[in-house]
Amino acid sequence: MVLGLIGAFGAAVCYGVASVLQALAARRTATAEGLDPRLFLRLLKSMPYVAGLGLDVLGFLLSLLALRTLPLFLVQGVIASSLAVTAVLGAIVLHMSLSAREKIAVVVVVAGLILLALSAAEDHVVDVTSAQRWGVLIAAVALSGLAIALARLRGRAGASALGGVAGLQFGVVAIAARILPASYDPRVLLTDPATYALVIAAPVGLLALSTALQRGTVTQATAPLVVAETVAPALVGLLMFGDAPRAGWGWAAAVGFILAVLGAVSLASHGEVRVEEDPTTTPAVPEP
């Protein structure tokens, strides 16, 4: 359980740093028309995006460790604190000032994390039916279709809608990782629908998020993402997988989860990245 908590907090740190790097790269890259996979190719030419992608991969591996030993609501609640990580690191390293509201939000997130950690109970083996495994794959495919449709939206509506879909896809990734067979036999993994759900949901979620960051502000894209990727899998874990905190600590788990999510949403604006205009690309103004 201790290793699981370390993995969850490590994933939050990786995701927090990666989000700023990817937002910076997305704003400096030509805007995509619709949900265009070629956006990935353009982004891969940007070192900040590549570095952020590497941190995402490391964060996913750490979250996978956590998801194998801890309930979904706990892992996703901790990962939601990645925005607090972004805010604190931004203040220390990049000298990005924190407003009084943001400082309070950081304290709220930390309080939520403490309560979640105190309520942690080691996970149990989940008995998942074939229908539930196929259901996760169907959800990944359906959300991919929804992302393609919503990518036609522009402005705030497009950023929020795609951010929400990206969050749901990341939630599918968490659920799929949770129910993957314990066996590392490729023959077992390749016959499990959850494997394909993970393979579909992860890249589509990243593409939807990158597109959302081009449609509007980081706040508009990130706030719905945080809510979707934490609340949806938490509910699935509680209602379908029998997730539960340790005996007598249900109140701490509920309050901690709510505080972590609300604090993270309040910090969404701190991930805003403003790219300065390149003076070499500004048309010269003719002299009178």
Mention every residue, 6+ apart, whose C-beta is less than 8 A from residue 181.
Answer: 188, 189, 192
Q: Mean pLDDT, to the nearest integer, of 201-218?
A: 84
Per the rule left: phi > 0, alpha: psi between -120 and 50, beta: everything else, 13 is: alpha
Specify the pTM.
Answer: 0.78
Return the higher-pLDDT residue of 263 and 277: 263
**Contact in structure between 15 and 56 (CB atoms under 8 Å):** yes
- pLDDT given at position 53: 85
What average pLDDT is seen over the chain?
81
Q: Mean pLDDT, to the nearest integer, of 137-163?
A: 91
279 band by pLDDT with thresholds 50, 70 and 90: very low
Mention every residue, 6+ apart, whose C-beta is less than 8 A from residue 177.
Answer: 63, 64, 67, 68, 198
Return the higher-pLDDT residue of 122 and 160: 160
Structure-token match 């969404």, residue found: 268
Sequence ranges of the domains in the chain: 2-270
Residue 269 pLDDT > 80:
no
- pLDDT given at position 20: 73
- pLDDT given at position 270: 55
Return the higher-pLDDT residue of 287 and 39: 39
Query: pLDDT digits over 77-96, tens only?
Result: 888 888 787 777 666 655 66
Residue 271 pLDDT > 60:
no
